[in-house]
C-alpha cells in the first residue's frame, strides 16, 4: 500500500498493489474508519481523516476495490469487508484518499510571523516543470482565491479566479463583474480552497465590501481588464493567514518577468470534460511582445503580457473558470510575484 500525491508522506491517494499492478480504491462508503485502518497499516497512530472525490487527484491503472467497510479495529485493509477485487461501478474521479496523523491547525497560527511577508510557498515541493495542466499540491498556491457568485440558497458557484494580495484585498479581472454587475451582495470570496467540494479548516468564505474596476476598463474590449476587491472585515484583519492562506507579492514599479522566468497559471478552469474540482496548475511560457502584436494586432496592447503556447507546442492556455486568476512568476529567492491576471485568449 502507498499514498500518492499528498503534500507529505502521511497523506495522499490510497493505492494498493494487486496482481502486479498499482491501483486505486473507489470512495463509495469511504469513511474515517477506513482511513484509521489504512493509517494503522502504514504505521501511523494519530488522528486519521478520509478524503473522497479524488481529493489528491485521479490515479491511473485499475480501480481494485469498492465499498470498503472497516469498523476501525482491523489491522489491515485486507481484513475489511469489501467487494471482489476489480468489481466496481466507479471512475477515477471517485478515488479515495487519507490524511494520517491529522493535525487541526489554527488558521491564525502563523499570522504574526508572516504578517508582512508575501510570495512564500510554504507547502510545495520542487519537481520537474511540466508544460500542461495538472493537479496542484494542496496548499501549494496559498494566494489562490475563488470569486463566487451567490445563489438563492446562500451558497455560491465558481465565477472567477483571483489573487490574495493582502489580508483585505484581492486582485482579479474586471470582466468577471460584467454579467452580474458591481453589487457587492452578489459575491463572496473563498480563500484556502483546494478541492471545491471538500471543506477544510483553513477555508474561509468572506463577503465583498467594495469592487474597484480600473477606470479605463470598457466591457466591449479587453484593455485595462483588472479590478480590486476589498473584503469585509476590519483593517488588515479580513483573512486569517496560515500555511494555506498567504498573499502574493506585487511587482515593483516597472518590474517585468524575465524571458526564462518560472511562471505558472492556476485555477479550477475547464479540463476538457468539466470544471475541475481540484485546483489546477500549469507551467506557462512567456511569449515575446512583438510576436503577440503580430498575431493579435490592436487587440494586444502595451498594458498586456502574453503567455501560452504557439504553433506545434503542447496546448496550454487558460480556460473559462481561470479568468481573473494569477500569472505567477518566481523572483530570485523563491519569492512569487503576480505579474498579471488571466483576461482573454484563444486555444
Catalytic residues: 175, 225, 323
Q: Who contacts 257 (Cβ-Cβ below 8 Å, separation ≥6)?
A: 263, 286, 305, 329, 337, 339
Of 308, 162, 316, the closest CA to residue 247 belongs to 162
**Which residue, chain included where needed, has cell 483593517?**
235
CA–CA distance, 49 with 304 (Å, rounded to integer) = 44
Cell digits for 8? 507529505
Of 233, 107, 228, the closest CA to residue 163 belongs to 228
| DSSP conformation class of 95 | B
Return the number of other C-beta atoms located less than 10 Å from residue 194's C-beta.
24
The b-or-e profile of 291-307 (16+ CB within 10 A means b, else e) is ebbeebeeebeeebbbb
φ/ψ of 26, rounded to 5, equals -75, 145
CA–CA distance, 238 with 131 (Å, rounded to integer) = 35
Our CA angle for 187, 188, 194, nearest 5°, is: 135
Q: Residue 160 forms beta bridges with which residues?
A: 147
Query: CA neighbours within 13 Å on the CB side: how many for 167?
Result: 17
CA distances to 47, 48, 52, 145, 160 from 196, in Å? 23, 21, 12, 11, 13
**Which residue, chain included where needed, has cell 496548475?**
281
| DSSP conformation class of 191 | E
| DSSP conformation class of 99 | E
Amino acid at each position: 500500500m502507498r499514498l500518492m500525491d499528498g503534500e507529505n508522506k502521511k497523506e495522499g491517494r490510497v493505492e494498493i498493489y494487486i496482481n502486479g499492478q498499482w491501483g486505486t480504491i473507489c470512495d463509495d462508503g469511504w469513511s474515517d474508519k477506513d482511513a484509521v485502518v489504512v493509517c494503522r497499516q502504514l504505521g501511523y497512530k494519530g488522528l486519521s481523516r478520509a478524503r473522497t472525490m479524488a481529493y489528491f487527484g485521479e490515479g491511473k491503472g485499475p480501480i481494485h476495490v469498492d465499498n470498503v467497510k472497516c469498523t476501525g479495529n482491523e489491522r489491515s485493509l485486507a481484513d475489511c469487508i469489501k467487494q471482489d477485487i476489480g468489481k466496481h461501478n466507479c471512475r477515477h474521479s471517485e478515488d479515495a484518499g487519507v490524511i494520517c496523523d491529522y493535525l487541526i491547525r489554527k488558521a491564525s497560527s502563523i499570522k504574526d510571523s508572516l504578517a508582512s511577508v508575501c510570495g512564500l510557498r510554504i507547502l510545495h515541493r520542487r519537481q520537474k516543470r511540466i508544460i500542461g495542466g495538472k493537479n496542484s499540491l494542496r496548499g501549494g498556491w496559498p494566494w489562490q482565491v475563488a470569486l463566487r457568485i451567490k445563489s438563492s440558497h446562500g451558497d455560491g458557484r465558481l465565477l472567477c479566479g483571483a489573487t490574495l494580495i493582502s489580508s483585505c484585498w484581492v486582485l482579479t479581472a474586471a470582466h468577471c463583474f460584467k454579467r452580474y454587475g458591481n453589487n457587492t451582495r452578489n459575491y463572496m470570496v473563498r480563500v484556502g480552497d483546494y478541492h471545491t467540494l471538500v471543506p477544510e479548516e483553513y477555508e474561509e468564505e468572506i463577503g465583498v465590501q467594495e469592487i474597484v474596476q480600473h477606470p479605463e476598463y470598457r466591457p466591449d474590449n479587453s484593455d485595462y481588464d483588472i479590478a480590486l476587491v476589498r473584503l469585509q472585515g476590519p483593517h488588515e484583519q479580513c483573512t486569517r493567514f496560515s500555511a494555506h492562506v498567504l498573499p502574493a507579492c506585487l511587482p515593483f514599479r516597472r518590474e517585468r518577468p524575465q524571458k526564462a522566468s518560472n511562471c505558472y497559471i492556476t485555477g479550477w478552469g475547464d479540463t476538457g470534460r468539466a470544471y475541475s474540482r481540484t485546483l489546477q496548475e500549469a507551467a506557462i511560457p512567456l511569449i515575446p511582445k512583438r510576436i503577440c502584436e503580430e498575431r493579435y494586432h490592436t487587440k494586444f496592447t502595451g498594458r498586456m503580457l502574453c503567455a501560452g503556447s504557439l504553433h506545434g507546442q503542447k496546448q496550454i492556455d487558460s480556460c473559462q473558470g481561470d479568468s481573473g486568476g494569477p500569472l505567477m512568476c518566481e523572483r530570485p529567492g523563491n519569492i512569487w510575484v503576480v505579474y498579471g491576471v488571466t483576461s482573454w485568449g484563444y486555444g
